[in-house]
Amino acid sequence: MRYYGLDLNLLAVLDALFIEQHVTRAASRLHLTQSAVSAALGRLREHFDDPLFVLVGGKMVPTALTQRLYPQINQVLESAREIAFSNVQFDPRRSTRRFRIMASDYVIAVLLPQVQRRLAQVAPDVDLSVETLFPQKSLEPGWLADNVLEHRSCDLLIIPHAHRSTRHPQEPLFEDGFSTIVCMGNHRVGDSLTVQQYLALPHVVREAGTAANGSMEAEFFASRGLERRVRVAVDQFGLMPEFVVGSECIATMHSRLARLYARRFPLRLLAPPLEMPPTLQVVQWHAYQDADPALIWFRQLLAEVANG
């Protein structure tokens, strides 16, 4: 469709290029060939009489004109999406939708396999694309969520409430407390732990960067001036039990995950010696998807499984 000499379909190409800053990735996002995106960019350049994007260090960097135009273009596309979804009915039994989810390996392990099993029952042709959300160093709270959602890297982001984006919608998903895992063969640990014992034992911890986005349990102990003896630091929750089994190390993690690992490894579960407040996981999505009936349905299913 042309409007004042501009093919409005080209705006979707400009949007994808602005987000991806790469022709091939933009083509993949739009389900077009690379040559089709390049041709569309050529037509956009001709219409606006501006390069729009300049290749710098392997990235398509937007020009000043593109940066000025983009908020208006994004608003036009979001309005079009709202119109498209205004009277759409979602039928899970007939849908072939693929939902893209990003979450920590903890949330993936304790929640998403159950979600997949529920989908197999109620929406057999709906698929999942699951990507691990890894911690980033030296970032302010909310930056990672903002970046993921603004770049539309997923349909739904599951993230701790403390690190949520304040720019996009959110819903509470589930709360979880903390447990300490100990190898069954660890004779240094009895049925309970004192604070002194807990701090003296070697720990396996998940490090998530700086204090601005460190793990919840690390922030808890730091706020009380307590320091643990860290023997091993890993960047994934899934690695923690591997270092606890067969050693004197202990590890503190979310209770749902600890119970999952206790079924798979020779581990005992203990309460931490200090009462740690539970953490709230929230689910977020880009504001433009607020009216998507498929996502509304899927968020309800997520909440049912998480709290069932």
Check whether residue 195 and residue 237 sit in a common domain: yes
Mean pLDDT of 200-215: 73
Q: What angle do CA 9, 12, 17 make, to 5 degrees?
A: 135
Top pLDDT among 303 and 207 is at 303
- For residues 170 and 209, state if they share a domain: no
**pLDDT tens readout for residues 71-97:** 888 777 777 766 666 556 789 999 999
pLDDT at 89: 78
Task: Please give the average per-residue pLDDT across 53-66, as a whole number.
Answer: 90
State which of 39, 54, 85 marks the end of a domain.
Answer: 85
d(CA 115, CA 99): 12
Name residue 307's beta-bridge partners: none
181 phi/psi in degrees, rounded to 5: -100, 140
pLDDT class of 134 with cuts at 50, 70, 90 = confident
150 and 295 belong to one structural domain: yes
Decide if 90 is inside a domain: no
Residues 37, 43, 49: CA angle, nearest 5 degrees = 130
Q: How many structural domains comprise the chain? A: 3
Query: 211 and 74, same structural domain?
Result: no
Q: What is the pLDDT of residue 1?
A: 46
pLDDT at 75: 77
Q: Are residues 121 and 54 in the same domain?
A: no
**Degrees to nearest 5, angle at CA 216 with 183 and 257:** 40
Q: Are residues 241 and 257 in the same domain?
A: yes
pLDDT higher than threshold 50 for residue 213: no
Position 232 pLDDT exceeds 70: yes
Does residue 43 lie in a domain region? yes
Q: Is residue 224 part of a domain?
A: yes
Distance (Å, whole) CA 78 – CA 80: 5
Same domain, yes or no: 256 and 284:
no
Q: Looking at residue 164, what is its pLDDT?
A: 93
Query: Are 167 and 44 in a shared domain?
Result: no
256-281 mean pLDDT: 96
Res 70 pLDDT > 90: no
Q: Which residue bears the tokens 């407040």? A: 277
Give a yes or no: residue 36 inside a domain: yes
Provide the CATH number for the domain around residue 169: 3.40.190.10
Query: Are residues 160 and 287 located together in one domain of the fold?
Result: yes
Average pLDDT score over residue span 104-131: 96
Residue 274 in this model has a pLDDT that exceeds 70: yes
Shared domain check, 159 and 145 = yes
Residue 142 CB partners (closer than 8 Å, separation 6+): 163, 164, 165, 166
271 and 296 share a domain? no
Q: Where are the alpha helices (DSSP H) in 234-306?
A: 240-244, 255-264, 293-306
- Taking only the tens place, the pLDDT of each residue in 6-33 is 677 788 898 889 888 899 988 988 888 9
Query: What does pLDDT average to over the chain?
Result: 89
Output the pLDDT for position 82.
Answer: 64
Tell me, yes or no, whether 24 lies in a domain. Answer: yes
pLDDT in tens, 92-116: 999 999 999 999 999 999 999 999 9
Which pLDDT band, with edges at 50, 70 and 90, does 212 fall under?
A: very low
Is the residue at 92 inside a domain?
A: no
Residue 216 has pLDDT above 90, yes or no: no
* Whether residue 151 is found in the same domain as residue 122: yes
Cβ-proximal residues to 63 (8 Å cutoff; 6+ apart), any chain? 50, 51, 52, 53, 54
Segments forming the whole domain that contains residue 49: 2-85
**Residue 189 pLDDT:** 94
The CATH number given to whatever domain includes residue 18 is: 1.10.10.10
